[in-house]
Amino acid sequence: MVKQLALFGDPVMHSLSPRIHIMFAEQFGIELNYQRILTPKGELSKHISVFKKADGLGGNITVPIKSEAYNLCHRCSERAEHAKAINTFWWENNELVGDNTDGEGFLNYLEKHLEMNPSGKSILLLGAGGAASALASIFTHSGLNTLWIVNRDIYKAESLAEMHPDYKALTYDSLAKIDEMQQFDWVINATSCSLQNKVPKIDGKWLKDTIAIDLSYCGGEPTSFMSWALKHSAGHVDDGLGMLVEQAALGFESWFQKLPDTYPVLANLRSRE
Ligand code: NDP
């Protein structure tokens, strides 16, 4: 029987998730139909129950309804509970179960593909939305030095900073006032600025010689953040495509109890960019 999966969010048409999951499924001879279901805020409950009745097995959730999905779940993984946001779901005994694989997907990409890990690093995290929350949560066990979380809405940054004593919350204005001697090893852009072709308002000096990673991706072109980081002498820049593939692999494992090989899938996506 063809397995039915779907992505819910708004927008969804640009998403690479169907291509990624179909390539994963081919590795195991699984027949898959992966739909994109346009789901504006407030409509998830309705769309998800129609999907379940049509033999839906599970799926993914994207912006702007990851917290709405969290609120709908009967049960969640610990990491989803921590992030209060869902990117992966399925049903078990008629109960909706949620998980958040974004943070682990990010770490897996760094470790498997770039041979990097956060241990001992000073990290500047821009943004305090769902993706930033998943990263802050996964970093709590990573042995990093400090995590500086910068957001326009300081309350969201402060709420993430409560996760660990080595986390600090800042506004963009307060970042501008911190000690000139402070240096960051990594600068991670977890804002949605690149989707609007903007860059977060920080001084370019913070980028010098850093690893600058944008969670957004832009069909093979450097994102606005990557171009800006290179202009300000970042040592290495990267986008969120690898994270996308790795977080998808963890979701696929939850649905089919099989962990796909992400290397050929990421290589395929990069070759078509
Ligand atoms: P959210 O909507 O939850 O959060 C958006 C964040 O961006 C908030 O911190 C918001 O700040 C900030 N922001 C938006 N516009 C601006 C601006 N003009 N200047 C400064 N900050 C801004 O989104 P997500 O956390 O889910 O997603 C964030 C990004 O990460 C998106 O680009 C998304 O595509 C990407 N992503 C990539 C994944 C991958 O697998 N590669 C997985 C998940 C997300 P404020 O709170 O102050 O409004």
For the chain, 273 residues long, give each residue's pLDDT as a single digit of tens.
899 999 999 999 989 999 999 999 999 999 999 999 999 999 999 999 999 999 999 999 998 999 999 999 999 999 899 888 999 999 999 999 999 999 999 999 999 999 999 999 999 999 999 899 999 999 999 999 999 999 999 999 999 999 999 999 999 999 999 877 789 999 999 999 998 999 999 999 999 999 999 999 987 789 999 999 999 999 999 999 999 999 999 999 999 999 999 999 999 999 866
The alpha carbon dihedral of 117, 247, 16, 201 has a sign of: negative
pTM of the prediction?
Answer: 0.96
Name the phi and psi angles at 52, rounded to 5.
-65, -45
Q: How far apart are CA 117 and CA 110, in angstroms?
A: 6
**Residue 103 CB less than 6 A away from ligand 1:** no
In this structure, the number of other CB atoms found within 10 A of the CB of residue 148 comes to 23
The pLDDT score that the predictor gives to residue 180 is 74
The pLDDT score that the predictor gives to residue 273 is 60
Å from CA of 192 to ligand 1 middle: 3
What order do you get walking across the sheet with 211-214 strand by strand? 167-170, 146-150, 122-126, 186-189, 211-214, 236-238
SS3 57: strand
The pLDDT score that the predictor gives to residue 119 is 97
SS3 146: strand
Q: How far apart are CA 112 and CA 158, in angstroms?
A: 31
**Residue 16 CB less than 6 A away from ligand 1:** no
**Residue 244 CB less than 6 A away from ligand 1:** yes
**Residue 73 CB less than 6 A away from ligand 1:** no
Residue located via tokens 């649905």: 255
SS3 88: strand
Amino acid identity, position 55: D
Catalytic residues: 66
- Please identify, by atom number, the ligand 1 atom nearest to the C-alpha of residue 248: 40
β-bridge mates for residue 5, sequence order: 34, 58
Q: What residue owns the CA closest to ligand 1's atom 13? A: 191
